[in-house]
């Protein structure tokens, strides 16, 4: 990557309120990069005229904010309930088909293939329940790690 006149530089990175990585110091940007950055800032300003410049921002808004723990838990609960209702609907449809099939054929004429399909449907239902439980625990763990990471102000120093 080096070239003539290449030297080691200390570069600091940080994250802004939109969780975008930004270079804080240590890199000289080309004129083209600076122009594109200014254009994107102008485009952002035209989209949100109520935004204020960096000098006028409230210091308390400098920290990245995310959804609160209760909001995340509520979203997890809603997601779980949606998935649970979908599973219930699928089970109701399956039960209806079984009743219709049993009425048409008679209970003593159930084929081994039908019984096998019924067992597969039950296993899939159990797997769906396990996936929901795993998803909730993973989301909770990820949120805790994210919260722990934001307390360090998201700055990384590279050499």
Per-residue pLDDT tens over the stretch 109-136:
567 777 788 889 999 999 888 888 877 7
Q: Is residue 157 part of a domain?
A: no
3-state DSSP percent of the chain in helix, strand and coil, to 5: 65, 10, 25
**How many domains are contained in the chain?**
2
Write down the pLDDT at residue 1: 46
Its domain, for residue 103, covers: 69-150
With cut-offs at 50, 70 and 90, classify the pLDDT of residue 8. low
Same domain, 92 and 146: yes
Same domain, 19 and 86: no
What is the rounded CA–CA span in Å between residue 23 and residue 11? 7
Same domain, 50 and 93: no
Same domain, 75 and 140: yes
Same domain, 35 and 89: no
Q: Is residue 16 part of a domain?
A: yes
What is the rounded CA–CA span in Å between residue 139 and residue 145? 10
């Amino acid at each position: 990557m080096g070239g003539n006149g290449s030297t080691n530089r200390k570069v600091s990175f940080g994250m802004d309120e939109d969780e975008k990585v930004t270079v804080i110091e240590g890199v000289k940007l080309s004129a083209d990069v600076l122009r594109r950055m200014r254009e994107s800032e102008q485009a952002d300003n035209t989209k949100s005229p109520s935004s204020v410049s960096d000098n006028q921002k409230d210091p308390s808004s400098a920290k990245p904010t995310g959804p609160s723990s209760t909001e995340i838990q509520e979203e997890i609960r809603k997601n779980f309930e949606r998935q649970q209702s979908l599973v219930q609907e699928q089970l109701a449809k399956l039960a209806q088909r079984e009743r219709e099939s049993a009425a048409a054929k008679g209970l003593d004429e159930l084929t081994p293939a039908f019984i096998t399909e019924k067992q597969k449907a039950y296993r899939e239902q159990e797997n769906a329940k396990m996936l929901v439980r795993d998803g909730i625990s993973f989301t909770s763990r990820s949120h805790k790690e994210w919260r722990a990471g934001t307390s360090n102000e998201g700055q990384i120093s590279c050499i």
